[in-house]
């Protein structure tokens, strides 16, 4: 029985052509700026997102942390959405390593509103930490892969400018957002001072993320990357996979989105509670209360029949579509889920 793995879009493995590109990659010492393939990747991503400069990093978590450490000083408060990836899943690095304080603000479908952000920016008060940064996430993981529009991002940039602080975008799945909206990715990234994006999620590269901003920001970020152990020497071997992914795997993200909708409709028919309106990209979040089974038990039972997904709490499960899951795979997963529930 073939396993259908819907835990995450991070589980994909390189195709033969991607492996060939990695094998043939021209390499040098990236810490010295001498790896031609890593340099080409940084230049390509900067051009795609309309930014002056880019920095190749090992992971999205490190990309976000580098951005926070570069933008802020110790003791600064950082405004972010209450269930943002930076707060929930990055091991408290902003506080443990950066001395930064998270100020969680409840969003709407994962999106911060200008009004809520303004209400949470600290006044110049001797008793309070200064607000140093606003962070947004597009697409938003725990909200179910929901998309933040360009207009929403521009409104938040206006708030940031009014208060003299930067706006950082955790854009791990920013290409999913661009494809879902049918807009150039640069349109979504332009309002942000910095962006971190992942190559190892829906784009299918085995490892790596990119941090972007203006040249001065990236020059400072490069030193922070070195401090965090992110200098990777002959990085071109893996950067080549990122270049291949950007060339071949962006437009096909719409296939993942279509299959997520197919899955969501099937789960709804099986009496899972979920918001079809929130299924905008490749993530499906569903509630198991109406089924009379906890998310943890359901995860265990589905794993036994070869369907892998994640429990995100006592009653919440997450399914993620990706390039290894076909329409047939979605239908087969639904059939196995139906058998388990019956």
For residue 215, the domain's CATH number is 3.40.640.10
Which residues of the chain, if any, have pLDDT below 50? none
The number of folded domains in the chain is 2
Looking at the structure, tell me whether residues 28 and 109 fall in a common domain.
yes
Looking at the structure, tell me whether residues 94 and 108 fall in a common domain.
yes
Looking at the structure, tell me whether residues 229 and 263 fall in a common domain.
no
Which backbone phi and psi does 111 adopt, to 5 degrees?
-100, 130
Total-model pTM: 0.96
Report pLDDT for 93: 98
Looking at the structure, tell me whether residues 94 and 223 fall in a common domain.
yes
Q: Is residue 2 assigned to a domain?
A: no
Range of the domain at 289: 252-341
Q: Is residue 194 assigned to a domain?
A: yes
Report pLDDT for 1: 83
Q: What separation, in Å, do the N-terminal and C-terminal C-alpha atoms of the chain show?
A: 20
Looking at the structure, tell me whether residues 299 and 198 fall in a common domain.
no
Report pLDDT for 107: 97
Instruction: Report, in angstroms and rounded to the nearest whole number, the Rg of the chain calculated over CA atoms.
Output: 20
Nearest Cα neighbor of 113 from 77, 67, 46, 159 is: 159
Q: How confident is the model over 236-247, as pLDDT tens digits? A: 999 999 999 999
Task: Take residue 166 and report the two structure tokens written for it.
Answer: 């930067």
Looking at the structure, tell me whether residues 191 and 308 fall in a common domain.
no
Q: Which helix (H) or strand (E) holds 303?
A: helix 295-304
């Amino acid at each position: 029985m073939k396993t259908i793995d819907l835990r995450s879009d991070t589980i994909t493995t390189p195709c033969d052509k991607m492996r060939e590109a990695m094998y043939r990659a021209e390499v040098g010492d990236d810490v010295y700026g001498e790896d031609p393939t890593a340099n080409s990747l940084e230049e390509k991503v900067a051009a795609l997102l309309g930014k002056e400069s880019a920095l190749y990093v090992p992971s999205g978590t490190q990309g976000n942390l580098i951005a926070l450490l570069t933008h802020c000083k110790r003791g600064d408060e950082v405004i972010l959405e209450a269930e943002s990836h930076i707060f929930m899943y990055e091991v408290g690095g902003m506080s443990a390593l950066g001395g930064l304080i998270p100020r969680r603000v409840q969003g709407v479908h994962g999106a911060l509103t200008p009004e809520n952000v303004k209400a949470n920016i600290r006044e110049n008060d001797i008793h309070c930490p200064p607000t140093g940064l606003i962070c947004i996430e597009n697409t938003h993981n725990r909200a179910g892969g929901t998309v933040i529009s360009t207009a929403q991002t521009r409104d938040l940039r206006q708030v940031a400018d009014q208060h003299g602080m930067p706006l950082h975008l955790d854009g791990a799945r920013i290409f999913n957002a661009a494809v879902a909206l049918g807009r150039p990715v640069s349109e979504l990234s332009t309002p942000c001072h910095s962006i971190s994006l992942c190559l190892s999620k829906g784009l299918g590269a085995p490892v790596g993320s990119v941090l972007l901003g203006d040249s001065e920001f990236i020059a400072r970020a490069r030193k922070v990357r070195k401090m965090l152990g992110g200098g990777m020497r002959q990085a071109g071997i893996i950067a080549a996979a990122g270049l291949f992914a950007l060339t071949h795997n962006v437009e096909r993200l719409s296939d993942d989105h279509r299959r997520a909708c197919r899955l969501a409709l099937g789960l709804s028919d099986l009496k899972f509670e979920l918001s079809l309106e929130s299924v905008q990209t490749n993530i499906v979040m569903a509630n198991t209360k109406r089924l009379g089974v906890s998310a943890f038990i359901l995860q265990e039972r589905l794993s036994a029949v070869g369907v892998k997904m994640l429990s995100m709490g006592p009653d919440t499960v997450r399914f993620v579509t990706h390039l290894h899951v076909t329409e047939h795979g979605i239908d087969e997963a639904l059939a196995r889920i139906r058998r388990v529930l019956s």
